[in-house]
Amino acid sequence: MQNFLYTSDVFKGSRYGRGHPLDMDRVWPSVELVQMMGWIEEKQIVKHGPAEIEELIKFHDIDYVLALKEAEDKQTLPEKIKKKYNIGIGNNPIFSEVFSRPATAAKASISAIETIAAKKAGRILNISGGTHHGRKSEAYGFCFLNDCVLSILKAIELGFQNILYVDIDAHHCDGVQDFFLDNKKVNIVSIHEKNRWPFTGLVDDCKIKNILNFPVSEKFNDEDINFLINKFIIPYFKINCPDLLIIQAGADMLCGDPQSRINLSNNAYWKAISDLLSLCDKSLILGGGGYNPYLTAKAWAGNWVVLNEKIELLDMDMNRECHELLKSLKWKNSRVKNGIPIEWIGSWRDKKENNEISNEIISLVNEIKEIKKYEI
For the segment 356-376, what is each residue's pLDDT rounded down to a tens digit? 999 999 999 999 999 999 866
What one-letter code names the amino acid at 6? Y
Give the residue-averaged pLDDT of 321-340: 97
Is the pLDDT assigned to residue 264 strictly greater than 70? yes
Instruction: Output the pTM of the full model.
Output: 0.98
> 170 vs 32, 103, 195, CA distance in Å?
25, 23, 11
The secondary structure of residue 318, as a DSSP letter, is: P
Q: What is the mean pLDDT of the chain?
A: 98
Helix (H) or strand (E) run with residue 47 in it: strand 45-47
Which residues constitute the domain of residue 307? 4-372
Report how many domains make up the chain: 1
Helix and strand element counts for the chain (H, E):
14, 8
End-to-end alpha-carbon separation of the chain, Å? 33
HEC per residue, 347-374 = CCCCCCCCCCCCHHHHHHHHHHHHHHCC
Residue of 277, 325, 331, 327 whose CA lies nearest to 304: 277
Q: Roughly what angle, to the nearest 10 degrees, separates helices 147-157 and 100-117?
A: 30
Of 46-50, 191-195, 349-353, give the lowest mean pLDDT range: 349-353
Rounded Cα gap, residues 191 and 173, in angstroms: 9
* pLDDT computed for residue 376 by the predictor: 60
* pLDDT computed for residue 353 by the predictor: 84
Is the pLDDT assigned to residue 13 strictly greater than 90? no
Give the residue-averaged pLDDT of 274-288: 99
Characterise 225 by phi-psi region: left (phi > 0), alpha (psi -120 to 50), beta (else): alpha
Is the pLDDT assigned to residue 354 strictly greater than 90? no
* pLDDT computed for residue 193 by the predictor: 99
- What does the pLDDT look like over 202-260, one tens digit per residue? 999 999 999 999 999 999 999 999 999 999 999 999 999 999 999 999 999 999 999 99
Give the residue-averaged pLDDT of 136-159: 99
φ, ψ (nearest 5 deg) of residue 303: -65, -25
CATH code where residue 315 lies: 3.40.800.20
* pLDDT computed for residue 341 by the predictor: 97
* Rounded percentage of the chain residues whose pLDDT exceeds 70: 99
Give the residue-averaged pLDDT of 256-285: 98
* pLDDT computed for residue 11 by the predictor: 95
